[in-house]
Structure 1
Amino acid sequence: MSKLNASRREFLRLGSLLGSASALGAATPFALNLATMGSAAAQGAVSDYKAIVCLFLYGANDHANTVLATDSTSWTQYTTVRTTAEAGSIALPGLGATGGVLPITPSTVQNGRTFALHPNMPELKTLFDSGRAAIISNVGPLIVPTTLTQYQKATVPLPPKLFSHNDQQSLWQAYAPEGAAYGWGGRMGDLLAANNSNPIFTAISASGNAVFLSGRNIIQYQVSGSGATPINGLSGTLFGSSTAGSTLRSIVTGDTANYFQKEHAAVTSRSINAQALLGPSMAPAGATGVPNPSQYTNPNTGALANNSLATQLQTVARIIAGRSALGAKRQVFFVSMGGFDTHDFQKTAQADLLAKLSHAINYFDSVMGNLMGTNLRNQVTLFTASDFGRTFTSNGDGTDHGWGSHHFIVGGAVKGGNIYGNFPVTGLKHAEDVGSGSLLPQFSVDQYGATLATWFGLTPTQISDVFPNINNFTNRNLGFI
C-alpha cells in the first residue's frame, strides 16, 4: 500500500467513512480503535461503585421449560402441548415428582396462578426465595407497544428480521440487526466513563467480541480466564538476546509519519500499558483471592465437570476486586454461554445448560457477598439475555425459533422474589401467541435496559439517547431494581 499523504483531518474523515461504510462498530479491532478518538462524557463524578453484568445465552433459551406456570389449568395445557408421542417428548415432570419442577412463590399474586423453575436450577430457586433474584416475564425487541392484531396486520413498525439468530442477538445487544455499530452497554460506558480514571476498563468482555459493549467513544476491553492477554517477547530474553525484547517493543510502538501505522502503534502501546496495569490489579484466583468455582454436576450423567461460565464470572469478580487500583467507579461486563438452539435433544441439552447457568450465577452471588472481605451484592447486578424465546409447541424432540422470553435479574439491589409483568397464558391461541406459542413480547428490551440504566446512574435524557425506542413506551422503569 502506498504511503498516505494526507492531513490528520483527512485521515479522520477517511476513518469515519470506513467505519460507516462497513458498519464496523464492534466488528473489527481497527474500527474499535477509531472509536477511541472521541472523549467520554459523564453527567458528573460519582462516589460509589456499580457494575452491570450481561449474561448472554446464545442460541435462544427455551423460556417455557425455564419458568413454568403450575396451577391446574396451566399445567394441563403445558403437558398436553409439550407431551408428544416421540421418545423425545420435552414436557418436564411436575411438582412432587422425581426430578420435578421446583416451586417458587412470587410476592405478587397473579390470579391464583402458581409457578416453578426447571428442576436443574435449585441455586436460582434459593436466590429467588431469598430475594436476590427476580424474573421479568416475556421481554423481547419491540419498537412500539404492539398488539397481536397490529402484528398480524403490520400496522405498527416491527423489529427487523425476527426469528433470525444473528440479527436478534444484535437487536438485543444493539437495537439493530447484524452489523450494528453501537451496543447499549457500550453507550452507557460512553456516558459514564469519565468517572473512571482509566476509561479503557469501563466495558470489559470475558467472552470475546460483543457488540453490546461497543460504544461511540469507549472500546471494549477483552480478557481471558487468565486476565489480560500480553504481547509476548517484549521483556526478558528473546531469541537468546537480552535486548531483542526492547527492540521489538520499539518497532511495534514507534512513531511514524504514516497515519495507519501511527494508529496501530498507538493501539499497541495502549494494549501494553493496559495489560501492565490490569495484571497486578486483578485479585488472584484461588484461596488468597477470588475462590475458584466448584465443579457442577451434569444432570444427565451425574459426573462432576468444570463450568466455563463460572470461570468467566470469576474473571469478572477478579477485575471488580481491583476496582480501586484501576480507578473504576462504573463498569459494564459481558459473559456468555452457547448451545441453547435446542431444535433437537432439548430435554437433556437444556437440563445441562440450565444446571451450568444456575451453578455459575450462584457462585457469582456468593463471591459478591464476600469479595476480598467486602459485600458488593448491592453494587453489582447481573441480568440474562438471549436471542429470543422458543415456540411453545414441540417439533417432537425440541422447539423452534420464537420471540419473547423470560429472564433473570440477580443482585442485592434487585427487588427479588417476584415475577414482573403478567405471566403469559400457558398454551396456544391466546392474545400473545404469534404462532406455535411464540410470544409477542409484553416488555421491550429498551424498557428492560432502561430500568438497569436508571439504577446505574443515567439521567432520563441520557437514557433516551442510549435506548432509541424508549420514548415510545409509557413505562420506562419496570421497577425490578
Structure 2
Amino acid sequence: MSQHNQSRRDFVSKMLALAGGSSLPFSINLAAMGSAAAQTASDYKALVCVFLNGGNDHFNTVLTTDSESWNLYKRLRSTSEAGSIALPAAGAAGGILPITPVTSQGGRSFALHPSMLPVKHLFDSARAAIVANVGTLIRPTTLAQYNAGAVPLPPRLFSHSDQQALWQSPQASSSGDFGWGGRLADIIAASTSSAFTAVSTSGNALFLSGRKVRQYQINGSGPIAVRNLDAPIFGAPASSVPLRQIATASFSDPIPKEHVAVTSRAIDSYATISTAMLPAGAGGVPDPTPYINPVTGAAAVNPLAVQLQTVARIIGGRNALGLKRQVFYVSLGSFDTHDFQSNRQADLLARLAHAMAYFDTSLASLQGTDMRRQVTTFTASDFGRTFTSNGDGTDHGWGSHHFVFGAAVKGRNIYGIMPPVGVGHDLDVGSGALLPSISVDQYGATLASWFGLSPTQITDVFPNIGNFSVRNLGFMAA
C-alpha cells in the first residue's frame, strides 16, 4: 500500500512540476523549501541564462568584416532593395559596429549589429565575450560524417521545440526530464535545498528542472501572492471560513494531502521571497529606463530588462535567503525571423543590448557591492539561421554565436574559430546553416566549472562531454 501511495505522490509531484507558473494564481510547483543555509560555498555565484526563443540570426548579430568576407556577405544577403537583410557598412548611417578581439583570427575583422552599441561597450570593457558557432552535438562531427550519417546526430534538427529542449537539457530524450541548470542546482544544493536556488521569470523552464531542486517561478515584476487568504469567501461577510483555512486544510488521502502541502509551501515561499528580495525603484534596484525602438524611435518598457531587475532584486536578498549559489532563467521571444527580419531583429537586439547594459549597471552597485564578478549571464537560443535569405528573412539553421557577460568573463575576445562566410564551405549543412564546432556541453561545462562543479560532477550533468577533447573553453576566469 505504501508503495502505491508513493507512486501516486510521485505522480502528483511531477504533474505539479510541469505546471506553468505564469498562468496560475500562484506558483504551485515550488517544491520543498528545506534549509537554504545548507549550501556550503564560501562565496556567492549566480548563473543567468537569457534564452532567445525562436532562433536568433547570428550572422547579423556578429559579423565577419574583412574585405573577402564582407563582399560575400553583401552579395548573398542583398536579395533586393525592398527585402535585403544585409546591414550597412561601418561608418554608414546605422552601420555595423566594429569590435577588436584580443586574439587575432588570421587577419579577419569583426563587428556587431547596429542595435548592439551597449553590448559593444561591454565587450570593449572586457565584460563580454563571444563564443562562436555553438550548437547541439553528441560528438565532434565533420560535414562528411553528417552527410553520411556516420555519427550519432541530435534528433529532429531544425525543430524549434526539440532543439530548445536539447539546448536546455543535453541529456534530454523526447521528454527531457532534467535541464542542466536544474542539475547544477541539484549538485550545489546537495542533500537539502531551497525553493530559491533555481528561479525562472519566464514560466516553467526545462533548463531549471532538477531531480531534487524545483524551480521557483516568479513574474518578471515580482512574486505573485495568493490573494484574499483571510477574506470572506466570495465577499460573503457571514462566512467564518477564510480561503486560507480551506487551502491548507488537513486530508488523509494522499493526493489532496500533497496538494495542500504544495499550496502551503507556496504561501510560505511567497512570504519569504517578498520579504527577502530588494524592492524595485528607490531604495532597492532602480527601474530600467525605457529602451528606444531603433525602427520607430519610440520609447518603451523593455520586458527583458524588467525580468533582469527581478533577478537583481533576488540576488540582493541572497543573504536573507542564506544562498551561496543560484541559477536563473529569463527569456526574450520572437526571434523566428522568416519574414521582416531587418526591422524585427533590430528591435529585438536593441532590447537585448539595453537589458544587458542595465543589468551590468545594476550589479555594479547592488547595495553598495559590485556583484559583476559573482554573476555570469549567457545567451542561448534554439539554433542559428541560414546564411542565405528567403527574401526578407532567414530559415532555421543549427550552430550560432553566443554572448557571455560578467566581470569573471575573460572578455573582449572571441572563443572558437569564426566559421567561413557564405555557402559551400566545410561547415555548411545547407543554405549556409552552420555545422556547430562547439557543443552545448562544452559551453555549459565551462560555466559549470566556474560555478564550482568538479570534473566528475560536470560529467554527470553533461553526459556527452567525454566525447570532446576540450572540456573547458577557457572564457571564464579561474
Band the TM-score falls in, shorter-chain normalisation: over 0.9
Q: 1:294 to 1:12 in 2, by over 3 A?
A: same
Alignment of 1:115-130 (within 5 A): 115-130=110-125
Q: Residue 4 of structure 2 corresponds to which residue in structure 1?
A: 10
d(CA) in 1 for partners of 2:288 and 2:240?
A: 36
**1:345 pairs with 2:340:** yes
Q: Residue 212 of structure 2 corresponds to which residue in structure 1?
A: 217
Secondary structure, counterpart of 1:200 in structure 2: coil
Q: CA deviation at 1:179?
A: 2.5
Contact residue 128 and residue 404 of structure 2 kept, 8 A:
yes
Alignment of 1:79-478 (within 5 A): 79-85=74-80, 87-175=82-170, 176=172, 179-194=175-190, 199-235=194-230, 247-478=242-473
d(CA) in 1 for partners of 2:281 and 2:12?
A: 45
Secondary structure, counterpart of 1:309 in structure 2: helix
Identity of aligned residues (%): 59
Structure 1: stretches of 5+ with no match in the other structure? 1-6
Q: CA deviation at 1:238?
A: 5.4
Structure 2: stretches of 5+ with no match in the other structure? none
Q: CA deviation at 1:236?
A: 5.1
Contact residue 124 and residue 361 of structure 1 kept, 8 A:
yes
Alignment length (residue pairs): 471
Contact residue 39 and residue 323 of structure 2 kept, 8 A:
no
Secondary structure, counterpart of 1:52 in structure 2: strand
Contact residue 383 and residue 407 of structure 1 kept, 8 A:
yes
Q: Which is further off, 35-44 or 280-289?
A: 35-44
d(CA) in 2 for partners of 1:25 and 1:349?
A: 34
Q: Residue 69 of structure 1 corresponds to which residue in structure 2?
A: 64
Amino acid at match of 1:51: A
Q: Which is further off, 177-186 or 84-93?
A: 177-186
Amino acid at match of 2:136: P
Q: 1:284 to 1:28 in 2, by over 3 A?
A: closer
d(CA) in 1 for partners of 2:120 and 2:303?
A: 21
Contact residue 442 and residue 470 of structure 2 kept, 8 A:
yes
d(CA) in 2 for partners of 1:225 and 1:477?
A: 32
Q: CA deviation at 1:39?
A: 8.8
Amino acid at match of 1:265: V
For residues 376-412 of structure 1, the C-alpha deviation after alignment (integer angstroms, 9 at most, x for no partner) is 0000000000000000000011000000000000001
Secondary structure, counterpart of 1:378 in structure 2: coil
RMSD of aligned Cα (Å) = 2.5
For residues 398-447 of structure 1, the C-alpha deviation after alignment (integer angstroms, 9 at most, x for no partner) is 00000000000000100000000000001111111111000000100000
Q: CA deviation at 1:41?
A: 12
Q: CA deviation at 1:58?
A: 0.3
d(CA) in 2 for partners of 1:38 and 1:372?
A: 26
Q: CA deviation at 1:233?
A: 1.4
Contact residue 405 and residue 439 of structure 1 kept, 8 A:
yes
Q: 1:99 to 1:419 in 2, by over 3 A?
A: same
d(CA) in 1 for partners of 2:182 and 2:463?
A: 14
Q: CA deviation at 1:256?
A: 1.1
Which 4+ runs in 1 deviate beyond 4 A?
14-20, 27-30, 32-44, 236-246
d(CA) in 1 for partners of 2:94 and 2:267?
A: 51
Q: 1:240 to 1:51 in 2, by over 3 A?
A: same
Secondary structure, counterpart of 1:377 in structure 2: coil
Contact residue 54 and residue 384 of structure 1 kept, 8 A:
yes
Contact residue 29 and residue 215 of structure 2 kept, 8 A:
no
Secondary structure, counterpart of 2:115 in structure 1: coil
Query: TM-score, with normalisation over the residues of structure 2?
Result: 0.93
Q: 1:181 to 1:405 in 2, by over 3 A?
A: same
d(CA) in 2 for partners of 1:324 and 1:386?
A: 32
Amino acid at match of 1:301: T
Amino acid at match of 1:143: I
Amino acid at match of 1:470: I
For residues 243-302 of structure 1, the C-alpha deviation after alignment (integer angstroms, 9 at most, x for no partner) is 968632222112211000110011001000000011111111112110000001111111
Contact residue 207 and residue 224 of structure 1 kept, 8 A:
yes
Secondary structure, counterpart of 1:199 in structure 2: coil
Q: CA deviation at 1:468?
A: 1.4
Contact residue 129 and residue 413 of structure 2 kept, 8 A:
yes
Contact residue 130 and residue 402 of structure 2 kept, 8 A:
yes
